A and B are shown apart, each in its own frame.
Chain A
Amino acid sequence: MMPTMSAKDLSKIYRRGSEEVRALDGVSFEARSGEMAAVIGPSGSGKTTLLNIIGCLDNPTAGTLSVGGEEIFGGRKELSEKELTFIRRRIFGYVFQKFYLIPTLTVRENIMLPSAFYKSSAGAKSPDDVMKLLGIDKRAGHLPGELSGGEMQRVAIARALINSPKVILADEPTGSLDSRRTGEIKEILRELATQGMTVVMVTHNLELAKAADRVIELRDGKVV
């Protein structure tokens, strides 16, 4: 199977005053369509930096990244904010630990929020289908304040799915949930991968990491 995401020798160097901080140091990995990959490692190991770069929120200092055969970073000049945004729109859906749902929008409206800003070139999914897939169709008219933590994370996942992304990037998706809800979210992410998406998640949760097809362990910015 063709790899959906391929990273080679990704490096990220920050300058802190006169000091040079090497947050990522030659990280390479692949993740295929239908695969769930977990990025693990201690705090400060470069997990979030890696997620930011593969999620096109930041440029790498060196290295290449291609998604679905399309080269995104690699030997060219740094991409502008606008270019990165266009790539994010086409390829990625994001899930965050703290959900970031808008409290005055209903579940349905929160799910449709990305479509307020752009229309997906891949074609937007029906919010009803996405809610049904995630088991929140009966909560469509509720406000986030009326939902449990697990339900809120399902809404956040639904929001990430609405514009048919190729890759789901999840940063500590179960960090705010208890073990039962963690299990539910794990099953949902697994189901998304089964449907052909690539799921890359940063997690401290070993149970979630064990469910992944591929585990990328980082230490001091390097894959170990």
Chain B
Amino acid sequence: MNIYSVAYKNLLRKKTRAALTAGGIALSAWVLATLLGFNRGYENGLNRDIDNMGFQVLLTAKGCPYEAATLMLKGGTGLRYMPESVVKTVYLNPEVEKVTPMLMQGVFDPNKGENGAIAAYLGVDALTFPAMKGYLEFKQGGWFKDNNAYEAVMGFEAAELEQREVGDKLLIPGVDKELAVTGILKRSGTQDDGTIFLPIGAVQKIFGKQGKLTGLGIKVRKDADMAAFENKLYDLPDVQVVSMAQVKTTIMNLVNSARVIVLGIAVIAVIIAMAGVINTILMSVMERYAEIGILKSMGAMPLDIFKMIWAETAMLCSVGGAGGIFLSFLTARVSESAVRYFLPYAPNGALIALDWRICLFAFLLIVVGGLLSGVYPAWRAARVRPLEAIRIEGEQ
């Protein structure tokens, strides 16, 4: 028999009240852990997406930088063009290790979805693009060998959606050109899964865009001075330079603004839960006023009573905190779907990355917050004078 077992049994007196308070704490722990997991997951995902692009700088025709960022990450189709000669100009820079030209085209496909949708085709160089995207593996077949062949390589999801296999034909609507599918990629967890790759020369020919590009991916040498190199690129006429660092900063700035608001909500949720803890424990102390006085008359010191009440608070917060973190694991996929629905851009992979550090941090924050909330009720209980308690007993 010790103070902590007495505290535990005290919590069992009003089970519903204790459960509701622990539930409130669990909800705030769930919000906190999920948001911290989202912070981590989003940043990891963004870094992963950017690393998987295979290049650190993208040149596009001058235009809106956000459009350019979208072009890089999602395959937008509101397109401007730059001359193909820019490939040679850029490649002559000593900082450049590799370049790969790209031409993206989109056509309206009336058979896509219920009401039709834009079908996007990314024209890539058969030699340089596969070298930059070393992580891409084939489920079937392989890359096209000729930049002018009417062939296609389909991302995993694109192939599933179109129900195509190697050797099948793929019709580009509107231009009525048939392509032979030469390869189906394995799932990569990137935007490439939904992309249909064509030889760049074929895309230029089919869509009448000879000598034009929508993008140029640049892989920079490891020892290169990125800032100096980017400054050089800014001098090129009619092109826009988008570095991965810029893209990441731009997106993270947007996400950070939302994150501050959402974390503010999480803090409010924690504060409300802690107010609930104060209310519950204080109410419990007031109900047991006489009994606490009797315990003191039996020899309990103020510190003993403080410890007992504080232990009740700690147990309530620990159970609620642990429950909330468990809940955040259980609902991570559902939360992720909801976040994806509301965000204009969400990177691939797990958006809510919960690990032991996040769980421990959320748990400790809840428990420490709870313990701070429990100080006042515990102090009030410790100050109960046995004589007053006995007097109250006599009056009742």
Give A residues with C-beta under 8 Å from B.
48, 52, 55, 57-58, 81-82, 85, 88-89, 94, 96-98, 100, 102-105, 109, 112-118, 159-160, 163, 171
Contact = CB atoms under 8 A, between A and B. Distances in A.
Interface string B283-312: 000000011001111111110100000000
Given A48-B394, A52-B387, A85 B291 contact: no
A100 B392 CA distance: 13
Contacts, number: 80
Contacts of A113: 1, 6, 295, 298
Given A52-B387, A96-B294, A104-B12, A118 B6 contact: no
Given A85-B296, A171-B390, A104 B2 contact: no
A85 B393 CA distance: 20
A140 to B, nearest CB: 13
Nearest to A109: B1
Given A57-B387, A58-B387, A97-B393, A114 B3 contact: no
List the 6 closest pairs (A to B, CB-CB), nearest first: A89-B299, A117-B300, A104-B9, A112-B1, A100-B294, A104-B12
Interface residues of B, number: 29
Nearest to A120: B299
Given A88-B299, A98-B290, 5 more contacts: A94-B294, A109-B9, A114-B300, A116-B6, A117-B300
Contacts of A114: 298-300
A55 B390 CA distance: 12
A104 B13 contact: yes
B298 A102 contact: no
B361 to A, nearest CB: 33
A55 B297 contact: yes
Contacts of B3: 116-117
A97 B391 CA distance: 12
Interface of B: 1-3, 5-6, 9-10, 12-13, 290-291, 294-302, 304, 385-387, 390-391, 393-394, 396
A117 B295 contact: yes
Contact of B301 (A85, A94, A109): A85
Nearest to B7: A116
A152 B385 CA distance: 25
Q: Which of A55, A88, A117, A163 has the most CB of B within 10 A?
A: A117
Contacts of A171: 390, 394
Contacts of B386: 57
Contact of B297 (A48, A94, A112): A94
A82 B301 contact: yes
A103 B13 CA distance: 7
B298 A94 contact: yes
A115 B1 contact: yes
B387 A102 contact: no
A159 B396 CA distance: 23
A160 B291 CA distance: 15
Interface centre among B290, B291, B386, B393 (most CB of A within 10 A): B386
Contacts of B297: 55, 57, 88, 94
Nearest to A172: B394
A97, A102, A115 — which one has the most chain B CB atoms within 10 A of its CB? A102
Contacts of A115: 1
A105 B2 contact: no
Contacts of A97: 393
A98 B393 CA distance: 8
Contacts of A96: 294, 390, 393
